[in-house]
Amino acid sequence: MTKKLGVVGSLVWDVIHGRDPASPPVEEWGGIAYALSSLDAHLPPDWQIVPLIKVGRDLSAEAARFMNTLTHLVPGGRCIEVPVPNNRVVLRYQSAERRCERMSGGVPSWNWGELGPMVSDLDALYVNFISGFEMCMGTAQALRQGFRKPIYADLHSLFLGMQHDGIRTLQPLRDPEAWFGCFDVVQMNEEEMQQISRDPLTVAAQAMAQGVKLMAVTLGPRGVVYVAAPGADESAAIRTALIPAPYVADPDPTGCGDVFGAALCAHLLAGEPTEAALRSAVDAASRNASFRGARGLAQHLRGELVTP
């Protein structure tokens, strides 16, 4: 029996400066494109991708061409065109891991009135806050009440504010406990976690108290730390460990968190034990770090030869 995974996020047109310092800027799909490619590479054969993604009219045709490259796309699946400019981001890498982002565009948030009918026949949800404006907390809470099946969430851009010129800046997450209560699995990176508390155990305790079953904190080239609640994999105890990442020479970090989260979601949906799923996701992120861009990424993650 075919199962359906709804994917909430934002397709972003990236202009990337400084990834290859001697080369001109690179323009390509970013944002949820990385996660979609990873899902396409890692989902079990009986799962289909249902995009719950709004795209601006100016890039809707290009978005459709990208979506049609996905082998797991549900028949007839497409983004929802909205009559505004699509989100665009200029990325300037200041080092191998640090970057400055400037966002423009006006793709609106989802509300529960829109999402409710679209999730009724889904079997799981993957939510990636690419812009941070995909939905407000009220919509997320309504989604949790109205959809009792698994929800994976990468909280990433909920931690990013936006200045008047579009520059994204790290900021504390307001009411993290309420956000935690909306999801079964939560992902964030180390800097984001520290916006909640400098004490990782405090953050883990807050998440578990709100019903989070698994919290994953990505550490860049060091790998990922996880905390699993009692009951995960039939264990009666809370478990935590560091999963180290393989070494990658001259890595490109663009999209690594998205590839990791989507791969973890896919492997968990396949029924893999938590730590095995995490190791597979870390390996996928490392493979992404040795690649450039989202075009052909799904094939690369599957180990297929990608032609220019």
Residue 138: what residue type? G
Would you state the pLDDT for residue 47? Answer: 98
Would you state the pLDDT for residue 97? Answer: 64
| CA dist., res. 69 & res. 241, Å (int) | 36
Q: What is the pLDDT along the chain (308 residues), one digit of tens a residue?
A: 999 999 999 999 999 887 676 778 888 999 999 999 999 999 999 999 999 999 999 999 999 999 999 999 999 999 999 999 999 999 888 766 677 899 999 899 999 999 999 999 999 999 999 999 999 999 999 999 999 999 999 999 999 999 988 999 999 999 999 999 999 999 999 999 999 999 999 999 999 999 999 999 999 999 999 999 998 787 778 999 999 999 999 888 889 999 999 999 999 999 999 999 999 999 999 999 999 888 899 999 999 976 65
Q: Could you state, in order of their start, the residue ranges of all structural domains in the chain? A: 3-298
Q: What pTM value is reported for the model? A: 0.95
Contact 223, 247 (CB under 8 A): no
- Name the CATH architecture for the domain at 3-298: 3-Layer(aba) Sandwich (3.40)
Residue 155's CB is within 10 A of a number of other CB atoms, namely: 22
**Coil, strand, or helix at residue 169?**
strand
Burial 185-214 (b: 16+ CB within 10 A, else e): bbbbbeebbbbbeeebeebbebbbebebbb
Residue 175's CB is within 10 A of a number of other CB atoms, namely: 9
Contact 129, 32 (CB under 8 A): no
The structure tokens 């994204």 sit at: 168
Would you state the pLDDT for residue 194? Answer: 97
Rg (CA), the chain: 18
| CA dist., res. 301 & res. 287, Å (int) | 7
In sign, the C-alpha dihedral spanning 136, 139, 144, 145 is positive
Two structure tokens written together for 65:
């061409």
Nearest to 155 by CA among 218, 93, 83: 218
Contact 237, 230 (CB under 8 A): yes
Transcribe 125-156 into DSSP letters. EEEE-SSS-SB-HHHHHHHHHH--S-EEEE-G
Contact 299, 38 (CB under 8 A): no
Would you state the pLDDT for residue 307? Answer: 61
